């Protein structure tokens, strides 16, 4: 289930119109990507009001930088990249918690772990609850991969990390899900 | 201890999230399909990724949407710098208007006793100078010196009592305004000193008239 269904060429034409100062084009782009951007920003901050503010800043930045968009990435990747930069700048300025990604990547491993396999047997509600308990950096990678359906390369572009790091973060997110579910099982006993 | 994983399984394992999303090219897709036919570990891992994908999509689908006014606020943010640029084309006019507004408001905020005390002291000095000039014409210059001294003392006293939480009823409101407190203080000082200057000028004029303009 992807949140967007617009052809990429059409998207680029819309960005071209924004670069020419067409206000309706920005409204059109917003209609197409509001869910994508807002769901992404909500993974970076639990504050609904701040997520809305970041969404506004993302659109303002898109309006101002549309003339610099060269179509080297998809419009969705471009917008999510802008949203991420806006979020990180604002969180840093306001001294709100940011995940130390370097530290997380240091724990990277892509080896399959046999005990992970049982995740498929867990009820969906349990998995959803565990998803909400994940660190923002893990929720972010899962949302980019499975909701926005970005490829490894596109995700690497958005996060400004190598493709290998994208794979290891995905793997770590899965491990953390497993750990959270195990901890809950332990508490039940 | 690191698990012993065949190279092909390691390779396919890395492709599974993209395989779940149908993002692989036809060649890679066929490679993964072939591998999955005989590898139980990768079959199980594929099921795990499918479950995670489904749970992630379900979690996001249940999140709230942004409010309907987002776009209006975006336009407000885009247009605000343009308005600020228009203002900055007339910096002197803007500064003067701002100063006028601050001075105008401060006149009402400064405590009335300062104006009354200055007027009474000014009146007293004026009477004193007139008294000296009438009864001891040779000491008129002493009277004018006295007027100068009193004007300076009254102005300084007025400035000392025009600001501060214990003397200024509007102190908290003043602090909450966007205008710098230094500007507010400078404006008040200019007003009190200016008022005393005007009073002493009037007193000087009265004394001069009393002497037939000979001072």
What tens digit of pLDDT does each residue of A30-69 get? 999 999 999 999 988 888 999 999 999 999 999 998 888 8
What tens digit of pLDDT does each residue of B110-132 get? 777 788 888 888 788 778 777 77
Q: A149, B14: Cβ pair inside 8 Å?
A: no
What is the model's pLDDT at position B173? 54
Three-state secondary structure along chain B?
CCCCCCHHHHHHHHHHHHHHCCCCCHHHHHHHHHHHHHCHHHHHHHHHHHHHHHHHHHHHHCCCCCCCCHHHHHHHHHHHHHHHHHHHCCHHHHHHHHHHHHHHHHHHHCCHHHHHHHHHHHHHHHHHHHHHHHHCHHHHHHHHHHHHHHHHHHHHHHHHCCCCCCCCCCHHHHHHCCCCHHHHHHHHHHHHHHHHHHHHHHHHHHHHHHCCCCC
The residue of chain B with its CA nearest to that of A128 is B55
* Closest CB from A48, A63, A127 relative to B64: A48
Q: Which of B9, B43, B60 to mutate to test the interface with A (most CBs of A within 10 A)?
A: B60
Does the CB of B73 have a partner CB in chain A at under 8 Å?
Answer: yes
What tens digit of pLDDT does each residue of A139-174 get? 999 999 999 999 999 999 888 889 999 999 999 999
Cβ–Cβ pairs < 8 A, chains A and B: 121
* Percent residues over pLDDT 70 in chain A: 83
Q: Which of B18, B52, B58, B78 to mutate to test the interface with A (most CBs of A within 10 A)?
A: B52
Question: What's the ipTM?
Answer: 0.82
* Percent residues over pLDDT 90 in chain A: 46
Q: Which residues contact B180 (CB under 8 A, 6 or more apart)?
A: none
The residue of chain B with its CA nearest to that of A163 is B14
* For residues B167-179, average pLDDT: 57
What tens digit of pLDDT does each residue of B194-213 get? 888 888 888 888 877 877 66
Cβ neighbours of B58 in A, within 8 Å: 124, 128
* For residues B143-169, average pLDDT: 70
* For residues B17-43, average pLDDT: 91
Residue B190: band (very low, low, confident or very high) from pLDDT cuts 50, 70, 90: confident
Task: Report the 10 Å Cβ neighbour count for B184.
Answer: 19
Q: A55, B10: Cβ pair inside 8 Å?
A: no
What tens digit of pLDDT does each residue of A165-176 get? 999 999 999 999
């Amino acid at each position: 289930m992807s949140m967007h269904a617009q052809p990429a060429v059409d998207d680029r034409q819309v960005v071209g119109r924004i670069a020419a100062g067409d206000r309706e084009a920005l409204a059109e782009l917003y209609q197409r990507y509001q869910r994508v951007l807002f769901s992404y920003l909500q993974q970076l901050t639990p504050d609904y009001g701040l997520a809305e503010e970041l969404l506004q800043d993302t659109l303002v930045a898109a309006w101002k930088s549309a003339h610099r968009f060269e179509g080297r990435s998809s419009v969705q990747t471009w917008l999510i990249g802008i949203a991420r930069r806006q979020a990180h700048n604002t969180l840093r300025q306001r001294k709100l918690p940011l995940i130390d990604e370097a530290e997380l990547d240091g724990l990277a491993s892509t080896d399959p772990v046999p005990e992970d396999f049982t995740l498929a047997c867990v009820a969906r509600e349990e998995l959803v609850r565990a998803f909400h308990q994940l660190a923002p950096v893990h929720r972010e990678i899962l949302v980019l991969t499975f909701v926005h359906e970005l490829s490894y390369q596109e995700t690497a572009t958005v996060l400004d990390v190598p493709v290998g790091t994208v794979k290891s973060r995905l793997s770590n997110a899965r491990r953390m899900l497993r750990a959270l579910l195990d901890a809950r099982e332990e508490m039940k006993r | 201890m690191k698990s012993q994983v065949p190279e092909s399984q390691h390779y396919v394992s890395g492709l599974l999230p993209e395989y779940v999303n149908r993002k692989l090219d036809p060649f890679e897709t066929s490679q993964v399909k072939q591998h999955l036919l005989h590898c139980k570990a990768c079959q199980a891992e594929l099921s795990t990724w499918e479950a995670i994908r489904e749970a992630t999509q379900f979690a996001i689908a249940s999140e709230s949407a942004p409010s309907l006014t987002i776009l209006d606020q975006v336009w407000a943010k885009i247009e605000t710098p343009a308005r600020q640029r228009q203002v900055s084309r007339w910096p002197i006019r803007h500064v003067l208007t701002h100063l006028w507004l601050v001075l105008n408001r401060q006149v009402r905020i400064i405590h009335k006793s300062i104006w009354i005390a200055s007027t009474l002291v000014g009146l007293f000095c004026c009477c004193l100078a007139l008294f000296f000039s009438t009864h001891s014409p040779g000491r008129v210059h002493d009277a004018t010196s006295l007027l100068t001294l009193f004007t300076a003392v009254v102005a300084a006293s007025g400035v000392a009592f025009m600001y501060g939480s214990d003397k200024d009823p509007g102190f908290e409101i003043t602090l909450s305004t966007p205008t710098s407190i230094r500007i507010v203080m400078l404006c008040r000082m200019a007003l009190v000193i200016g008022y005393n200057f005007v009073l002493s000028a009037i007193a000087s004029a009265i004394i001069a008239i009393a002497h037939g303009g000979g001072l």
